[in-house]
Amino acid sequence: MTGRELDRTTMGQLRTLEGNNSEWVSKHLVMAGRLIDSDPEAAFQHALAASRRGGRIGAVREAVGMTAYAAGHYDDALREFRTFRRITGSSIHLAHMADCERGLGRPEKALELVQSDEKEMLDNAGKAELAIVASGARSDMGDFAAAVKELEIPQLDINRAFSFSPRLFEAYADALSAAGRAPEAAKWYRQIGVAEEALGVGDYEEPEIVDLGYDEEEERRELEERRARAAAAAPTGAEPNEGEVAEDEATEIESGEPHAGGESATSDGDEDESHDSVDDHHVLGLAEDELGMNESTAGADEGHTSEEHTDGHDPEFPTDGIGEHGHGSDQA
């Protein structure tokens, strides 16, 4: 667990923290998220630890509120949700705040939040959750008919399934049952399974696949780690510069092997230069041989002019010399 398991939005907020506070806070937030369903009290303690160094971050206060709510600490949760709203200006947790009022035995306060103007800022899922809380508050007050009425909102559609539909259907069925309308309640209870099957949730849920792609922060940290390893492996007193590190990285990417190919390339270059110099000497020697040969044959040509003309060959270019040195040139 590194702390980088958080979503990018939360990681972006935590970058405003100084020193190693970002890593400290992120690790506690990861643990709070992992434990909130199985051990909400432990999750709450992790979120509190994160708030000690990141209390001004909206995502941190949100985590404290959610874990406190899950652990049943409704007064702490209500305070944290209010702080989150003040920091971010968002009312997305209005339903949680109203439900905390219910948990504290104040259904009237819950209804005041439900009827506030802030509800207009919520999306359909938020409005459905708010209606569920309002229905619960009416039931707490013993008004079961009003509890049913609170749930009869545009989002309650028996023929359509949204992410919030199973919970909304269940709450409506419970309210109908409490109001003595059992036949109608049975129909909505059956519809819960239909909605879950259509959405692929509940008993019909498929395994979740998460893409853990790298981001720029991860790439930067990996580069720093490679540089640190290169510096540790360098001789005492010698530090690899950025050019050497970049060259090593390029070699690893292309061949997957350490950058030992430099020496091989140099030696190959020396061999090529040596081979070229040998060829140059061979060519010079060949020219000298041809020059000496032509000089030696010049005198012989004077004495044998008639004989060579008889053979039909050019006296200035003996056939023996061309044959020998032409073959040698091919070899070269």
Place of tokens 């399974």: 193
Indicate whether 14 belongs to any domain: no
Indicate whether 156 belongs to any domain: no
SS3 at position 158 = coil
Indicate whether 279 belongs to any domain: yes
CA distance 105 to 103: 5
List the pLDDT tens digit at each of the 332 positions of the chain: 787 789 889 989 998 898 789 999 999 999 999 999 999 999 999 999 999 999 999 999 999 999 999 999 999 999 999 999 999 999 999 999 999 999 999 999 999 999 999 999 999 999 999 999 999 999 999 999 999 999 999 999 999 999 999 999 999 999 999 999 999 999 999 999 999 999 888 777 776 665 555 566 777 777 888 888 888 887 665 555 555 545 554 444 444 444 444 444 444 444 444 444 444 444 444 444 444 444 444 444 444 444 444 444 444 434 444 344 444 444 33
Indicate whether 277 belongs to any domain: yes
Amino acid letter, residue 90: S
Report the predicted TM-score, pTM, of the whole model to 2 decimal places: 0.61
Indicate whether 326 belongs to any domain: yes
Indicate whether 98 belongs to any domain: no
CA distance 149 to 181: 13
Indicate whether 327 belongs to any domain: yes
**Buried b vs exposed e over 89-101: b needs ≥16 C-beta within 10 Å?**
eebbbbbbbbbbb
Indicate whether 325 belongs to any domain: yes
Determine the structural domain holding residue 290 and report its residue range: 270-295+315-332
Place of tokens 């980088």: 4
Q: What is each CA distance from 13 to 2, 49, 55, in whole angstroms?
A: 17, 17, 12
Domain count, the chain: 1
